[in-house]
Structure 1
Amino acid sequence: MSAQELYGDVEREVDAHGGRLWQVALRLHEHPELAYAEHDAARLLTGELTGADFDVTMGVADMPTAFVGRGGSGRPTVALLMEYDALPGLGHACGHNLIAAAGLGAAIAAHTVAARYGVPGTVLAVGTPAEEDGGGKVAEVSAGVFDDVDAALMVHPGVRNQIRAPLTAQVQVRARFHGRAAHPTGNPGEGIDALAALVETFNLLGAVGRRFPAGSHVQGIVVDGGTATNIVPDHAEGLFGCRGLTTSALDDVVADVTRCAQAAAAGLGASVEVDRVGNGYRHFSDSTPLSARFAQHISRSGITLTDSEPNTYLGSSDIGDVSGKVPAIHPFVAIMDSDGSDHTAAFAAAAASDRGRRAMLASAKALACLAVDILLEENVRDEAWACLRAEVRAAPARTGV
Structure 2
Amino acid sequence: MPTPDDPHQSITRRVADLADEVWATACALHADPECAFDEHRAAALLSTALERGGYGVRRGVAGMPTAFTGEAGSGGPSVALLMEYDALPGMGHACGHNLIAAAGLGAALAVRPLLDRVPGRVLAVGSPAEEGGGGKVAEVRAGVFDGVDAALMVHPGVHSWSWAPLTAQVELEVVFHGRAAHPTGNPAEGRDALAALVQLYTTLGALRPHLPPGAHVQGIITEGGVATNVVPDRAVGRFGLRAATTTALRGLVDRVEEAARSMAWVTETTVEVHALREPYAHFRRNEALADRFAEHLPFALALPTPGVQLGSSDMGNVSVEVPAIHPFLAITGPGGSDHTPEFARAAAGPRAREVVLAAAEALAHTAADVLLDDGLRERAWAEFRERGRVEA
Q: TM-score range by the shorter chain?
A: over 0.9
Residue equivalent to 1:41: 42
Question: What pairs up with 1:165-314 in 2 under 5 angstroms?
Answer: 165-298=164-297, 301=298, 303-314=299-310
TM-score (norm 2): 0.97
Aligned-partner SS, 1:144 = coil
Over aligned residue pairs, what C-alpha RMSD do you find? 1.5
1:363 alignment partner in structure 2: 359
Q: Following TM superposition, by how much is the alpha carbon of 1:208 offset from its aligned partner in structure 2, in angstroms?
A: 2.5
Structure 2 CA distance for aligned equivalents of residues 38 and 269 of structure 1: 44
Matches of 2:132 and 2:203, distance apart in 1: 28
CA offset at residue 215 of structure 1? 0.4
> 1:53 aligns to what?
54
1:265-324 Cα shifts (integer Å, max 9, x gaps): 1111111111111122111111111011111111xx2x2110111111111111001000
Matched residues, number: 391
Unpaired segments of 5 or more residues in structure 1? 397-401
- d(CA) in 1 for partners of 2:234, 2:91: 33
- Cross-structure match for 1:399: none
Q: Are 1:316 and 2:312 counterparts?
A: yes
For residue 388 of structure 1, report the CA deviation from its aligned partner: 1.1
| CA-CA distance at 1:210 after TM superposition | 2.8
Cα deviation digits, residues 232-281 of structure 1 (max 9, x gap)? 11111111001111000100111111111111111111111111111221
**C-alpha separation in 2, matches of 1:214 and 1:381:** 33
How far has the Cα of 1:5 moved from its partner? 4.1
Please give the alpha-carbon distance, in whole angstroms, between the structure 1 residues aligned to 2:277 and 2:39. 19
Aligned residues of 1:2 and 1:376 also touching (Cα < 8 A)? no
Most deviating of 84-93 and 184-193: 184-193
Q: Which runs of 5+ in 2 are unaligned?
A: none
Deviations, residues 366-399 of structure 1 (Å, cap 9, x unaligned): 1111101100011101111111111222245xxx
Choose 165-174 or 272-281, whichever is displaced more.
Answer: 272-281
| Cα deviation, residue 230, structure 1 | 1.0
Contact 1:179 1:193 in 2 (8 A): yes
Percent of pairs identical after alignment?
Answer: 55
Query: Which segment drifts farther, 269-278 or 319-328?
Result: 269-278
Matched to 1:354, the amino acid is: P
Q: Which residue of 2 aligns with 1:31?
A: 32
Letter in 2 for 1:109: A
Alpha carbons 1:90, 1:343 under 8 Å: kept: yes
1:54-203 to 2 correspondences below 5 Å: 54-115=55-116, 118-203=117-202
Q: Cα distance, 1:6 vs. partner?
A: 2.5
Q: 1:284 is paired with a residue of what secondary structure?
A: coil
What is the CA distance between 1:185 and its match in structure 2?
A: 1.6
* TM-score, L = length of structure 1: 0.95
SS at match of 1:306: coil
> Following TM superposition, by how much is the alpha carbon of 1:38 offset from its aligned partner in structure 2, in angstroms?
1.1
* Deviation (angstroms), 1:231: 1.1
Q: Could you say if the C-alpha distance between residues 2 and 265 of structure 1 is closer, same or farther in structure 2, counting changes exceeding 3 Å?
A: farther
Give 1:10's aligned residue: 11
Contact residue 217 and residue 253 of structure 1 kept, 8 A: no
CA distance in 2, matches of 1:363, 1:371: 12
Give the partner amino acid of 1:147. D
Are the equivalent residues in 1 in contact too, given 2:78–2:123 (CA < 8 A)? Answer: yes
CA deviation vs aligned residue, 1:351-378 (integer Å, no higher than 9, x gap): 1111000000001111111101100011
Measured against aligned partners, the alpha-carbon deviations of 1:84-135 in whole angstroms (never above 9, x if no partner) come to: 11111111111111101100111111112342xx121011111111111211
Distance in 2 separating the partners of 1:211 and 1:390: 31
Q: Secondary structure at the match of 1:177?
A: strand
The match for 2:346 is 350
Distance 2:10 2:234 in 1: 64
CA distance in 1, matches of 2:288, 2:326: 13
Question: 1:203-232 CA deviation, whole Å, 9 max, x = no partner?
Answer: 221233332110011100101111111111
Distance 2:77 2:96 in 1: 30
Displacement of 1:33 in angstroms is: 1.0
Q: Secondary structure of 2:278's partner? A: strand
2:72–2:115: 8 Å Cα contact kept in structure 1?
A: no
